[in-house]
Amino acid sequence: MLDNDRENNFFFSRSPRSVVLFVGGVVFVFVVLMIVFYIRLVTVTQDLAVGVDNQLPSQAVSASASVSSSASASSESDNPADAYASLAEVRKALDSLSATSTCQGEADGKIYHALTVWAEKDNVWDAQSQAIKTSMTSMVEQCGETYAQTLITTLNGASIPDNLKELTSETLQFVGANVREAPEDAIEKASFSVPSKNIRCELGTSTVSCTIFTYSYESQTCKNQPVTYSMDSAGKLSQQCASTVTTSEVVSYETSVKSNGFVCSVDQEGNVECWAEKTGKGFKISSSEFNLF
């Protein structure tokens, strides 16, 4: 019984110095273990960092390749000719442009660009250039000056073939400027009659019209009847007998009248010359003849 008590009280029977040594040993072992753990943790962290660094260049190369691929695809899509399988297909788009266009110069410019590329590829530029010129002129008349200015800007870009740039400049050079201005002393009137009242004219928003009541030449439309000639700014002429210009305004000889971009001048004999300022297209009318210019 005494031996058991001695065993149970062995630890507590030690001197204070022994206890201090024991506790110090435990603390020392703990500190060593913590140092080993810290060194291991630092080593593992460094290994992970190196692994990440090694992965970044390959990821950067992959991203760069992806960007390059996207840029290449974008560059290819910038060529509008790629949207068409043949010259015949893009020419069909051009021929239907007046019916399908929404008067967006940038969009229509892509069709002119595509046709130029195909025409050069097939060595038929000379034949197709006239079709482009005719289409441009018609579309500007249909869509107006703002459309023309957008078209000029669109077809002057770095990727546009030089021959298309030259054709656009030549075709649309008068856009924004009048070919034939009204005389400085022209008066503003929407309609008038010459002193003899044999010729009456109306300067409308889209056409200029003149009715002649007595004339000595043969009219293709109206025989022995008053004939009314109407012309738009592009020089397109129509004739009719069913209606005549009516006005109470009478102007003197050698007087010019202007309105809505149209001008009419009356000479000393009462003959009339009318034209569109923008294009210079017009006609001359008298009792002896009618001429379009």
Structure tokens at 165: 């740039």
Position 286 confidence tier, pLDDT thresholds 50, 70, 90: very high
> What are the tens digits of pLDDT across the range 162-203?
999 999 988 886 677 788 999 999 999 999 999 999 999 999
> What are the tens digits of pLDDT across the range 214-233?
999 988 789 889 999 999 98
Identify the residue with better confidence: 23 or 34: 34
DSSP assignments along 96-107, one per residue: THHHH--S-HHH
Phi/psi for 54 (5° steps) reads -70, -30
- Looking at every residue in the chain, the average pLDDT score rounds to 84
Q: What is the pLDDT of residue 269?
A: 96
Q: What is the pLDDT of residue 227?
A: 96
Q: Report yes or no: 142 and 103 within 8 Å, Cβ to Cβ.
A: yes
Cα of 270 vs its chain's centroid, Å: 47
Q: What percent of the chain has pLDDT over 90?
A: 59
Separation CA 105–CA 214 (nearest Å) = 46
The reported pTM is 0.47
> What are the tens digits of pLDDT across the range 250-282?
999 999 999 999 999 999 999 999 999 988 899
Q: Report yes or no: 211 and 228 within 8 Å, Cβ to Cβ.
A: yes
Separation CA 174–CA 1 (nearest Å) = 129
Mean pLDDT score, 132-136: 93
Q: Residue 234 has what DSSP assignment? A: T
Helix axes 105-121, 125-143, angle to 10 degrees: 170
Mean pLDDT score, 4-25: 59
Strands (E), the chain: 187-188, 191-193, 199-203, 207-212, 227-232, 237-240, 255-259, 262-266, 272-276, 282-285, 290-292
Phi/psi for 77 (5° steps) reads -75, -15
Sheet holding 262-266, edge to edge: 187-188, 255-259, 262-266, 272-276, 282-285, 290-292
DSSP assignments along 69-90, one per residue: HHHHHHHHHT-GGGG-SSHHHH
